[in-house]
Structure 1
Amino acid sequence: MLANLRKNLFSPVLFLGWILFIICYLFSKQPNYLILLTFAQLVLVPAMVKIVVSFNKKGHVIMSVMMIAVTLLHWLADSELAIYLAIVYVLYTAFIALQGVTRFLHRGFVNIAEIAIDIGLIYILIGGLWFFAYIAEIDTGFSPLITWLTAIHFHYSACLLAISIGLFGRIHKSKGYNIVVFILLTGPLLVALGIAFSTIIEIVSVMLYIVAIYWLFKLALKISLPKRQCILLQVSYGALCFTIVWSLLYAFGNFSGIIIVSIPDMLTFHGLVNCFLFGLIGVIAWGLEVPISTHQSYTFPVSRIRGKLHTTGDAHAGLVDALQDFVDTSHLPTVIPHFYEHTNCYQLIASVQWRAWFKPLALIYQGISRWMQQLNLPLTSKQVEMNGVIVKVDERQDGRQAPRAWIRTIDEQTTFVAIYSQHTTAQTTFMNIALPLPFSTMIGILYVYEKDGDLHITSSDGGDAGIYLAMKHYVFRLPLNEHFTITAKNETTLSAVHTMRIFGLPFLRIDYQIERK
């Protein structure tokens, strides 16, 4: 484990951070409390970021320049150069945030532990902007000290804690963990809003934060890690259990007017404990052994088509060549495989039903969808005829196996352009559907199964299944899910229900009546 510690936390750039911090601590002309933020800027954040992000030579140069700029500010804070040195720090935090965005674009809304790390990397930019506001003496509506406290808040409570709980999530999975992560990731913003606008919001957010912190500590007591690392991690999270109580007492004082804990008290106890017991001990704990990410890169084929679709013009019979490729059709009424294999032989009547809470967004989106001629659904729920034609797509242009486009229209307005293909992963064949968008493509990887004589097609059944967005070389999962249920009414008639959810909330349902022409 000590070898891991040397590998993860001993490098020339991190050594430079320690040297510069010691210089600031011994010789700085700035108020003593500023050293708490400097320690995060020069030591803790660079070390934690290095644990989760691999930097090349360029990244190390950027980090070294930042460290020099932060150090110089201890002597040049009152000079004309101060604002330029602060800009250097903002650019560095933007560079770190970009790493978080890039990580997210390679994965998307999946794997909450990795999302926590992404958000932690992005939060540092907010801390950088507040630090710039403090150095540049920008009127934020708060005193300079509160502006500085907000900056340190986003370095410790946002960046460092988010990355730490993300690493924790690589080795622990539970519903309780998911709730804890949600509270702790939204907490820094809620606390900041409370400080800015409402002491009630501040108290409520701190109380939720307390519940989440103590819950996290309870989870840490049960985690299976090497003993030394386990103890350090428990000390780190245990320190938060102590300091968060001081935050609650401070917030209550702001609300009631009865000062129990003052800002100097917060700096002395809350600040120092977070700095060393939470921050430093936490970094050392993860440096002893970095958990490996459980996320697997996407390997399924993705359509290369972006923007407007160019078809061959040659007609194709159905959405699939053989439904048997996806599911055992022996328990399905024959009309269901016939529809998928001879789709052009059928007429569709559709009724689109938007959930009430989503209708304002659907109204705004409709102007965009009409321009794109894609996902262009009516706002009314009355039944409308949906005409369709299936045409071949050049396989060399698309890049997938035997692509064919199902182009559907309502009143001569293009509603959907969906390019159907398929792929097989681990002996499971998925529908691989691409919907071309400007500069991108939405990808639906759908799992097919039979239940009680009905055909089900879903994006939420594990494996490759999901809805993704492909942009350039990025493929990331969207917080969307869809489910189709296809039922045979008789030998020539089907009904289908298509439901969609966003972040688990239902927002769209389309009912289809499908009849053979």
Structure 2
Amino acid sequence: MTFRKFTFIHLILFLMVAIFNVAPWPFLMLTVAQLLYIPIVLNFVMRKGDWLRKYYFWIAIPAYLAIVVLHVSNETQIDRLLAAVYFIFTIIIACYGVSRFLQRGFSHVEEFAIDMGLIYLALGGAWFFAYEAHIDTGFPPLITWLTAIHFHYSAFLLPVFVGFLGRLQKNVLYKVICTIILLSPMIVALGITFSRWLELLSVILYIIGLYGLIVLSFQAQFTSPIQTWLVRISFAALGITIGFSFLYALGSGWGLFIVTIDFMLLFHGTLNCILFALCGIFGWSLAIPKSTHRKFDFPVSKIRAGLVVGDNILENLVDAQTNYYSLVDDMSVYEPGISVEKVSPTIIDFYESTANYRLFAEIKWAKWFKPFAFIYRQISRYVKQINLPLSNSVSEMTGDIFAIKDRLDGRVRPRAWVRKVDGQVTFVALYSEHKTAERTYMNIALPLPWTAMIGILELNQVGKGIQLTSNKQSGPESEAGIYLAWKNILIKLPLKEVFHVEELENNVLRAEHQMWIFSIPFLTINYKIYHQKLIK
């Protein structure tokens, strides 16, 4: 079915409801989202081959018919059932959002915004069901219904539009604004439920986010002048209506201004319904930006652990016919990212003769993360993987390197580096490398219970030292990152790590390993690395 036919059918469906609607006119603001806006935007998001597109009509037709019946008939005994049909539909859409995320993870913030819009829609469905089923939510029925509208417009349409904008204009400002927009719906809900101060804060965050979007919409390059101004008008409309939301929050909490629900419905609701939603949909329909995400296709270790990892995992994996004494056979494979002629000879020797070196580590957890580290430590002691001490005292990290059978791992020349502190297994890391285009990446797998954490690291030269990083420093096409592998699914994690390795003196190295979660630093490991001939 063509997009025009699809849109025409949903438009006729909505007009029929508008003509025969038995509820007050403001209720049509939610209805138009359910019967027109959401189907069209879902059509924008779904891709050929998606499971949702394959089964869409079987899933959607009962939901849309349920909405029609609810609005053209007086209250009946089956209203709860009809609302439940629509609620189930929104849950399926949320599952589609989750499935999109699982195909990619946190690798593209603009796609994550679309995922979150799809997931948030289920909350809109839940509040709609609560209203139609007369469930006591602790709020007046009107507030329950308005919350359903909030999750259809501000929590579904807005994140999807933000995702489309990010496909065109993604910079540091966009990432900040996108984060604010995605957090705001939940902060609004918490504020309404628990605290007027939190509700006011949520509106202030929305103001910052929405005006940031307006700025970004003036920076982005659209395909035509018509699309440019429709999208800008869409975001600008929210910039106007959010001001009245701010006045309403002040009025409901402190009585400083008088902005009534009736005024909000007439002005705020109508502007959002027509200028924000309708202009936005018209604008994006002219040219839907294409996603820049590409499926991850680098080699991934097939080795997974049971409940306990430790060095016992190697029992049937070790290739007794092969011996490795290093993490890398030949560092020149990482050229041109590094130059073996210019990098410190001791660094080259460490990676090509790792067994000849001894490591001493100082582990520093960030203060804010220490409570989580304590909890995690209780688990890692049992699992025996990524099992780092809580103490920041310097400890020797002993290690052995074992060849792993290629056919069991699935990568080229894999080897395990097992590191221990005071006899307890700290890391079991499986090293290999792979080449994509003209760049070779260090490909590291840490087996976990039924999964594996995969580190794809770029090697770059810094003076005579080197940097190993999961950041995409060589460009957006880089495969660098930290991933979670589960069965055939590879998820980009919100983790980053950087190793800085430099020579202090002949046969002595210093390495700093830093890690971030959601761009917040939480772990630093400082290493002193000595050639064993220096230590008796």
Unaligned runs of 5+ in 2: 307-312
Alignment length (residue pairs): 510
Distance 1:88 1:194 in 2: 29
Letter in 2 for 1:39: V
How far off is 1:155 after superposition?
Answer: 0.5
SS in 2 for 1:329: coil
Which residue, 384, 389, 410 being the options, matches 1:373? 384
Question: Please, what TM-score do these two structures have when normalized by structure 1?
Answer: 0.94
Distance 2:507 2:211 in 1: 60
Q: Is the 8 A contact 1:53 1:99 kept in 2?
A: no
How far off is 1:514 after superposition?
Answer: 2.1
Q: 1:159 aligns to what?
A: 156
Matches for 1:129-168 after TM superposition, within 5 Å: 129-168=126-165
Distance 1:98 1:246 in 2: 34
Q: Is the 8 A contact 1:77 1:135 kept in 2?
A: no
Question: Please, what TM-score do these two structures have when normalized by structure 2?
Answer: 0.91
Q: Is the 8 A contact 1:366 1:376 kept in 2?
A: yes
Distance 2:82 2:392 in 1: 58
Matches for 1:109-148 after TM superposition, within 5 Å: 109-148=106-145
Instruction: State whether structure 2 residue 413 is matched by structure 1 residue 402.
Output: yes
Instruction: State whether structure 2 residue 93 is matched by structure 1 residue 93.
Output: no
How far does the alpha carbon of each residue in 1:290-333 deviate from its partner, in whole angstroms, 9 at most, with x for none? 11112222222111222254422534211111112213222233
How far does the alpha carbon of each residue in 1:336-391 deviate from its partner, in whole angstroms, 9 at most, with x for none? 22221121222222221111110000111112212221101111111222221111
- State the 4+ residue runs in structure 1 displaced beyond 4 angstroms: none
Letter in 2 for 1:359: K
SS in 2 for 1:99: helix
How far does the alpha carbon of each residue in 1:458-481 deviate from its partner, in whole angstroms, 9 at most, with x for none? 111241111111122221221111
Matches for 1:244-323 after TM superposition, within 5 Å: 244-258=242-256, 260-308=258-306, 309-310=313-314, 311-312=317-318, 314=320, 315-323=323-331
Unaligned runs of 5+ in 1: 1-5
Instruction: State whether structure 2 residue 239 is matched by structure 1 residue 231.
Output: no
Change (3 A) 1:487 1:233: closer
Distance 1:439 1:84 in 2: 40
Root-mean-square deviation (CA, aligned residues, Å) is 1.9
How far off is 1:75 after superposition?
Answer: 5.2
Which residue, 42, 51, 60 being the options, matches 2:44? 51
Instruction: State whether structure 2 residue 51 is matched by structure 1 residue 40.
Output: no
Q: Is the 8 A contact 1:25 1:35 kept in 2?
A: yes
Q: Is the 8 A contact 2:22 2:74 kept in 1?
A: no
Distance 1:76 1:411 in 2: 74
Change (3 A) 1:448 1:222: closer
How far does the alpha carbon of each residue in 1:213-235 deviate from its partner, in whole angstroms, 9 at most, with x for none? 23322332343320121222122
Instruction: State whether structure 2 residue 501 is matched by structure 1 residue 490.
Output: no
Change (3 A) 1:11 1:380: farther
Q: 1:472 aligns to what?
A: 487
Q: Is the 8 A contact 1:130 1:147 kept in 2?
A: yes
Letter in 2 for 1:465: A
User: 228-237 or 74-83: which moved more?
Assistant: 74-83
Matches for 1:195-206 after TM superposition, within 5 Å: 195-206=192-203
User: 17-26 or 94-103: which moved more?
Assistant: 17-26
Which residue, 64, 68, 72 being the options, matches 1:71? 68
SS in 1 for 2:25: coil
Matches for 1:182-193 after TM superposition, within 5 Å: 182-193=179-190
Distance 2:146 2:101 in 1: 28
Q: Is the 8 A contact 1:374 1:414 kept in 2?
A: yes
Letter in 1 for 2:403: K
Matches for 1:167-186 after TM superposition, within 5 Å: 167-186=164-183
How far off is 1:421 after superposition?
Answer: 0.4
Q: 2:424 aligns to what?
A: 413
How far does the alpha carbon of each residue in 1:419-443 deviate from its partner, in whole angstroms, 9 at most, with x for none? 1000112211110001111221111
Distance 1:61 1:371 in 2: 47
SS in 1 for 2:258: coil
Matches for 1:342-357 after TM superposition, within 5 Å: 342-357=353-368
Q: 1:382 aligns to what?
A: 393
Q: Is the 8 A contact 1:444 1:467 kept in 2?
A: yes
How far does the alpha carbon of each residue in 1:10-59 deviate from its partner, in whole angstroms, 9 at most, with x for none? 344x5443333222212222233221111111110111111011343412
Q: 2:17 aligns to what?
A: 24
